[in-house]
Amino acid sequence: MTPEHFKDGEADIWIGEALPLLAQTVSAAERSGRKVLFCSDSRIWPQVLPLLQAQGVCRRADDLAVCFEPGEVHKQIAQVTRGWEALARAGADRRGIVVNVGGGVVGDMGGFMAATYKRGIPFIQVPTSLLAMVDASVGGKTGVDVGEVKNMAGVFARPEAVFIDPRFLRTLPVEEFESGVAEILKMQLLFQPDFRPEAAEGLFDAGRLPLDAIVTAVRDKRDVVARDFAEAGPRRLLNFGHTFGHAFESLCMAKGQAVPHGRAVAWGMVYELYLSVMQCGFDAALFRQTRDMLTAHYGRPDYGAADLQALAGYLRQDKKNAAGAVRPVVLSAPGRGDYDFSMPFAAAMEILEHGDAVYSF
């Protein structure tokens, strides 16, 4: 079956059994004299190499030019510096092309590395996790963390193409699969007025995840990005769950208890939906149903009074903040989000200080 195909700006996006098309793209680039440089991490590459070889994408394990250390904790500029050095050793020039194979960390760092090497060389995203398929690989955001602060440094740079092949999901642990489901749920809450938690439960069956769920999430993100590539307006909707979620994720990293990005986003969605009930008229019964579904799969953030100062610091670093105000995304109903909402910093901290109320409401 021919993969789904559409555009994100000038970038081609293929969804389905896309690896044969990737193999053709790599072969055509090499025949034209372009150097193709694969980038992955030391955990993912051995897992996905057999599938890449079977589909004719690459031939040998040592085709890997750039190998990052795995995990969000290593999403730092030092890794990118080593990547630049590896590209230079491999003789990469501005006609070269970097093929990033991995999850969101590889895509973010590899994209940033390519977009800044010799002031920018083309790159391709090949996401291997569900989270990267429906979020990080599309939209042209690249970057690294600074310490525990998420994505503090980066650039907007669209890839040359994105190849999304769900066969990679067979190599994914359950926790990582559910991390991606959280981003699909985020997109459904943002763009599907008929969202119902009981219907969304079917997304958690890894063996029966409909391809349409991936296609719809990617199309919805593509459509928002097309209207606002540099995140000056409507694209900020896509940060739903991330204001509080990034603070929780950063705290976990700082405590040496890193969690998958999607789990932290799920926690953030619960807090931001609670705020939506309090401030924007979101239906309280639907909030409770959605909260209970998310909590059943992702638990709840574990923090106490001693962690509030650290959470305050991470919340202050959120990129959306303006004039001392925190700017989470809120919903008045599914499909009706507000990216211009703002609240005093003290009010946001009050919600964190009384987190039990979020779960007992």
Our answer to whether residue 30 is catalytic in this structure is no
Residue 328 CB coordination number (10 Å): 27
Token duo for residue 181: 């489901």
Beta strand segments in 80-231, E: 97-102, 123-127, 144-146, 149-153, 161-164
* Active-site residue, from 242, 263, 291, 327: 242
Beta carbons within 8 Å of 256's beta carbon, 6+ residues apart: none
* Active-site residue, from 150, 186, 221, 291: 221
- Per the CB < 8 A criterion, the answer to whether 147 and 138 are in contact is no
- Per the CB < 8 A criterion, the answer to whether 271 and 247 are in contact is no
Beta carbons within 8 Å of 361's beta carbon, 6+ residues apart: 274, 277, 284, 287, 288
Token duo for residue 218: 């990617």
Our answer to whether residue 261 is catalytic in this structure is yes
Bridge partners for 325 per DSSP = 322, 344
* Active-site residue, from 150, 246, 291, 327: 246
Our answer to whether residue 235 is catalytic in this structure is yes
> Look-up: residue for tokens 């800044």?
116
Our answer to whether residue 119 is catalytic in this structure is yes
For 153, counting Cβ atoms within 10 Å of its Cβ (0-12 exposed, 13-18 middle, 19+ buried), the class is: middle
Type of residue found at 72: E
> Look-up: residue for tokens 């509030």?
308
* Active-site residue, from 75, 141, 219, 236: 141
* Active-site residue, from 60, 119, 208, 227: 119
Our answer to whether residue 141 is catalytic in this structure is yes
Token duo for residue 128: 């291997």
Q: Please tell me the distance from the alpha carbon of residue 226 to that of residue 8, in angstroms, as a whole number.
A: 7
Distance between terminal CA atoms of the chain?
A: 48
> Look-up: residue for tokens 């042209």?
140
Our answer to whether residue 246 is catalytic in this structure is yes
* Active-site residue, from 72, 176, 178, 183: 183
Our answer to whether residue 75 is catalytic in this structure is no
* Active-site residue, from 148, 231, 249, 272: 231
* Active-site residue, from 75, 150, 222, 235: 235
CA–CA distance from 205 to each of 72, 91, 102, 262, 336 (Å)? 25, 44, 22, 16, 27
> Which residues have a catalytic role annotated?
119, 141, 183, 221, 231, 235, 239, 242, 246, 261
